[in-house]
A and B are shown apart, each in its own frame.
Chain A
Amino acid sequence: MLLEADDHELVLQCKEGDGREDAFRLLLAKYEGYVYSLCHRSTDRREDALELAQDTWLRVFAGLSGFQVNRPFKPWLRKITINVCLNFLRRAHPEILSLENCPAPAAPEWDDPATLVQWTETSRLLREAVERLPPLHRLILTLRHAEEMTYEQIADVTGFPLSMVKTYLFRARRSLRRTLAGAYGWEVTNG
């Protein structure tokens, strides 16, 4: 029954149940991949991503006593994860969080566009292009496309001004759009 427990029950168990350690494990099993993936968007190094994920979970479990169980768990988990990632980025790259220095994503590299028309190949190229984006672009892109958050929600959860969120998103996708253009042989009319 605990195996099928929903977030609400699991969180209750984590807070006060006798099987707290089991509940910790179940909550981890359910969301550890999600948290790790989100952390991985913020850093290129696997070791950093692991550390960020661990830090996130320690904060989550320590913070559960103050968490209201009737609220949805996942957005709260996401917010803590994003905060941990942004703190890391601030420490690791203080320069990237100022809009003036917002780096333009690296231009895609094209060796032989003619061979790159297959759909699977394009997906792979695009994924590589996403991975080449600066970490903050990648994180915001993830919040928009994987998490399906609105501009407003991203600004809210990151604490960035709305204009900054938009700029990062537009630049990241313009760069990826160029990657696709290269892969499909589109003319690059709009930058």
Chain B
Amino acid sequence: MNCGNPEVLQAYLDGELPADERGELEGHLSGCLTCRRELAHLKLLWLELGQEREFSLPPEWAYLRQQIVAKSAADRSAKAPDQTGLGFWESQRLAWQDLSLATAYLPGSAEIGNLVKAAGRRLPGLFLDLAGTTLRRLSRRHQTDRKGGPARWSWR
């Protein structure tokens, strides 16, 4: 081998040397003090690099974390739940908010609004079934719209 080739020694320590080259190197090492010494030096470096420290999060992260949770929760409630039907949060909102107001901002939600006017709040089950279907449809449309980047609609 190329005596003292630092790349071979590095790959050896990384465990990336093919078996035949590894055998060749180990044979060489047994007879070459220079390479053994160099290997020892590199091992020391590997040892140090293996103890990488973590950066501690600065205080302003608390605020950013808050934003992440709020944004992600809002995103998730805007999307219709997939196979699970309406989530608890959505159904609570639908059941207890002023429904006509809550749906007024939904594009294409005329059928929900009409149903609400007709049924009031007394038939949340029926409403939620319909709303669930409509929401799923809306959210699909919403998801495809999002690539074009229109303003996000919200529940409020």
Residues of A within 8 A of B (CB): 16, 18, 20-21, 24-25, 28, 32-34, 36-37, 40, 46, 49-50, 53-54, 57-58, 61-62, 65, 122-123, 126-127, 130, 141-142, 144-146, 150-151, 166, 169-170, 173-174, 176-177, 180-181, 184, 186, 189-191
Contact = CB atoms under 8 A, between A and B. Distances in A.
Contact of A50 (B38, B61, B73): B61
B45 A58 contact: no
Interface of B: 4-7, 10-11, 14-16, 34, 38, 41-42, 44-46, 48-58, 60-61, 64-65, 67-69, 71-73, 75-76, 79, 81-82, 84, 87-89
Contacts of A122: 48
Contact of A58 (B14, B51, B72): B72
A61 B84 contact: no
Contacts of B16: 150-151
Q: Is the interface of A mostly helix, strand, loop or mixed?
A: helix
In the complex, which of the residues B7, B58, B82 has the most CB atoms of chain A within 10 Å of its own CB atom? B7
B8 to A, nearest CB: 10
Contacts, number: 116
Contacts of A173: 10, 42, 45, 49
A130 to B, nearest CB: 8
Contacts of A33: 54-57
A127 B45 CA distance: 11
B88 A169 contact: no
Given A20-B76, A145-B52, A166-B7, 6 more contacts: A16-B84, A57-B68, A62-B72, A145-B49, A169-B10, A189-B38
